[in-house]
Structure 1
Amino acid sequence: MVFTATGSTAAAQGTQYNAYVTPNATKAVTAVDTQQKTANGGYTPLSFTSDSAAFTAWTTAKTALSTDTTVQGPEGKVFDKATLVTALTKAGYTTIVGTDKTYTLDTASLPDTPTYGAALTLVYTVK
């Protein structure tokens, strides 16, 4: 970016200045935690580590989301919730199939105004 002095300032007219702009860091949305939605509407911690099939599906989804450019942008900038839901679906987060249970993502619990760089806690119902 180049600016040229045009007024009667301390700088001579016609002097050019270079300005260097550094964009905000690009950050991706990440899923860092899980919770189970209980029958009474509350939440309890949920871990996939004891179920190898569910843990593998979770890890695969996490890797896929980390490379999805639709959920990467300037840290803190708000983007559309529908974009987040689509990215989570595409990555494989909407249904995690375990050895003897199926975990379904509760998309209503996602933030209405997600931001790039957010660390999400995903809420699942379990069957």
Structure 2
Amino acid sequence: MTAGAPAPRIVAAVAVGGAVGALARWGLTGAFPNDVDGFPWTIFAINVAGSFVLALLPALAVVRRSRLVTVGLGPGVLGGFTTLSAYSEEARALLDHGRTATAGLYLVGTLAACLVAVAVADHWSSASQREAFEAEGGDE
């Protein structure tokens, strides 16, 4: 292993978590498919919920106690669950179908809703919890 490279168990935790998150997203998009001309509610909800949970992680002591849990849930599960590629693809498809206003609303609305979700989750953790999270390695 080279200097600075993550331990294999850390890489495995991210990989397994990422697979779980991606499968959860795939399942939800299959269960709640979007109409190509309509607002992409499923991906919107996935990205907002994922942003909220990711921002909430510092408030959870069980996450702060274990580096494997931190990377498995953060960049792993939530990284695989949330999706910039599907977000951009949904916007592209809306533009392809002449739904410019819906695409713009989707792009700006998702960003705004994700920022609100992060702000709300941040209020659920204390300053000392956030400091402990940073001191313990945070989301490095």
Larger strand share, 1 or 2:
1
| TM-score higher than 0.5 | no
The structure showing larger relative contact order (alpha-carbon pairs under 8 Å, at least 6 residues apart) is 2
TM-score, normalization: structure 2? Answer: 0.29
Larger helix share, 1 or 2:
2
